[in-house]
Structure 1
């Protein structure tokens, strides 16, 4: 497969959409792997509104060989000129009865191993046993997100809306920015497809109106090691 077009779209617009990254059978294997894993760790979060698994590959080790199929390995080899590695893997399941809205935002936090006061690392958080921090801008600019869709997703079940090219404006104070809804693009993605995104791309999702699920695996890749003594809380080398 040639993913040059997707790479160019990602750099220019801040996002790109892929189809057929996984077959129906591969999607079923991924879901079965998740469903057959014991859910007794802090990484598993379940409520009426959301089921999520943080540190997915650590929590469900068998899933790595299913995720990194031939197409994903080929995609990453074409996207990354240098030695990128996985820094975050989360599984999201938005149940059919869940109906929450996510306003426009940028993904400004990374997951790290500890809290250390360092220059250019700010806005620390600690949730469910995990530290998050806003890193230097260059790290965010060089992050690439791959969102793998395990269900067909459209405007009726919370597909992401993005503002094309917004990633080129650096960190944006969303509350003081006049967002032009005419520039919104709704990312309809088929089951087994994926969305590539820069974390500085403004994105949002509406409430679900058709009662259908939106199960997504969110992967983040980077090439930078953090300033010592900080390190990524997740690290998975791409084979």
Structure 2
């Protein structure tokens, strides 16, 4: 059965391409958000991919570690967003869950997301540098691979400038590798991406973005999922590839 067309997504696709980000509210109902949170709360938190501190609780390889969330996340409505904005060939390449507690002092300065997760480390031209986090290989790939990726951030709480909403530099994604220390604030502007519970933020990984500390004693829980339709060189594979079809 064909998925329903929901007005506005073509405009969202244009905004994502032009500015490097876009926000779509009300993708999930309050009940759907609660079902996702219930599945997360049932997860085994003792694994290496779970990071726990006073400032953040994070789950890397989220869809793999908490598989019960998959059908709850990929509803007909989200699939319609993905299809209309990205097309039919995109698949998941990375997933992370972030929980910034009510008293978090976790601050993330301006940066671009410059690495992808792969299954092994091999020497490849134009791939590098390499890093390893929690037994997961990550590498900076050629710029065209990064430009192809689209991220969807699913907001499980109301998020604004007081509890860690992302701040972005619009259009910075078109400037290739853009070092934060070279930002010219006389020319650039900053936008705070406030998103309601159940809404999503779409962004290009090359957009400069940052996140502030929590100041209003409210949690900020977000599921971060990256998508691509690009195949990697045969020597390596996407570490977290999940096909949606």
Match of 2:53 in 1: 47
- Residue 4 of structure 1 aligns to a residue whose secondary structure is helix
Distance in 1 (alpha carbons) for counterparts of 2:208 and 2:43: 34
1:52-131 to 2 correspondences below 5 Å:
52-131=58-137
Return 5+ residue gaps in structure 1 as ranges: none
Instruction: Tell me how far 1:182 sits from its aligned partner.
Output: 6.2
Is 2:159 aligned against 1:159?
Answer: no
Alpha-carbon distance in structure 2 between the residues aligned to 1:44 and 1:100:
17
Please report the RMSD computed on the Cα atoms of aligned residues, expressed in angstroms. 1.2
Between the aligned partners of 2:210 and 2:80, the Cα distance in structure 1 is 29
User: C-alpha displacement at 1:180, in angstroms?
Assistant: 4.5
Runs of 5+ consecutive residues of structure 2 not aligned to the other structure: 1-5
Q: How far apart, in 2, do the equivalents of 1:204 and 1:16 lie?
A: 16
Q: Which moved more, 1:75-84 or 1:128-137?
A: 75-84
Match of residue 238 from structure 1:
244
Partner Cα separation in structure 2 for residue 37 and residue 207 of structure 1: 26
Matched, 1:139 2:145: yes
Structure-2 change in CA distance of 1:111 and 1:179 (3 Å): farther
Aligned to 1:9, which of 12, 15, 19? 15
User: 1:2-45 CA deviation, whole Å, 9 max, x = no partner?
Assistant: 31111010000000001001000000000000001222322111
| Deviation beyond 3 Å, 4+ runs, structure 1 | 179-182
Give the Cα separation in 2 of the matches to 1:114 and 1:86.
Answer: 18
- TM-score norm. by structure 1 comes to 0.97
Compute the displacement of 1:81 (Å). 2.9
User: Are 1:212 and 2:221 counterparts?
Assistant: no
Give the secondary-structure state (helix, strand or coil) at the position aligned to 2:173.
helix
Contact 2:100 2:106 in 1 (8 A): no
Tell me which residue corresponds to 1:168: 174
- Compared with structure 1, are the counterparts of its residues 207 and 181 closer, same or farther at alpha carbon in structure 2 (3 Å cutoff)? farther
- 8 Å CA contact retained: 2:127, 2:141: yes
TM-score, normalization by structure 2? 0.94
